Amino acid sequence: MRIAIVEDDRDQADWLMTWLSGNGYDCHVFGDAKSAMRAFQRDTFDLILLDWVLPDINGDELLKWIRDKIDWPIPVVFCTQRDEEEDIAYALDHGADDYVTKPIQPLVLKARIQALTRRISGGRNVATIERFGPYEVDMTRHQITVDGELVELTQKEFELAVFLFNHIGRLLSRSHLLESVWGHAEGLNTRTLDTHVSRLRKKLGFGPAGDWRLNAIYHQGYRLEGPVDVQQHSA
């Protein structure tokens, strides 16, 4: 999971990043609202941890901007010292998914993140076999069939395809894809991603003329699009 931490207290941000990274999350820190906004316009994340008091724009205003500008309901968790009932109710009523007060209890925060993840996935465990229209994804054998025909894929091609299928209809930035599939975006040539995308288009039939399309979004990333009913089912 790729997490954006919007926190101006450097010590707090470093602690959150270190602790969450140690638990397997990819974390990116932003010290003010405007730098976070710029990042959110070019990059994608799975969850946002948001402080209320920021040096330029308060967290409640940034939350409104997120809900207005980001084209999918990204989970937002407030992490703040403001613990009045009115503040908590206001944040939840205006689009926050959860609210954690400082000092943050790490195990509680981890549990809240995991609960949000289960909520997003509908509370289901990852199935051994997933079906997306004509595609059958076998998570045990690491293979994909199209209309019953096995497609030969490398391990990274398989992992990239699974990640795209699990985010049908959602724009995913290049760095998001590189971190999620290859482990780290930094130092990796984006041509690695482009080459794998090109291969998946050919092998899985993600072409411009079909029902399934793997579209490049200029200067941003890629979006896998399928039939409307499949996308709505996966949302």
Could you report the per-residue pLDDT of 2-37, keeping only the tens digit for each? Answer: 999 999 999 999 999 999 999 999 999 999 999 999
Average pLDDT score over residue span 162-188: 87
User: Which residues, 6 or more positions from 90, have their beta carbon under 8 angstroms from its beta carbon?
Assistant: 60
Query: Which pTM was predicted?
Result: 0.81
pLDDT (tens digit, 9 = 90+) per residue, 192-207? 899 999 999 999 999 8
Among the CATH numbers 3.90.550.10, 3.30.2130.10, 1.10.287.1770, 3.40.50.2300, which is that of 2-120?
Answer: 3.40.50.2300
From-to residues of CATH 1.10.10.10 in the chain: 129-234
* DSSP SS3 for 1: coil
Alpha-carbon span 96 to 76, nearest angstrom: 5
Neighbours of 69 (CB within 10 A): 10
Query: Over the chain, what is the mean pLDDT?
Result: 90
Contact (CB, 8 A) for 54 and 8: yes
| Distances, alpha carbon 116 to alpha carbons 65, 109, 110, 210, 211, in Å | 21, 11, 10, 34, 31
129-234 fold = Arc Repressor Mutant, subunit A (1.10.10)
pLDDT (tens digit, 9 = 90+) per residue, 133-156? 999 999 989 999 999 999 999 999
pLDDT (tens digit, 9 = 90+) per residue, 108-132? 999 999 888 877 665 555 568 899 9
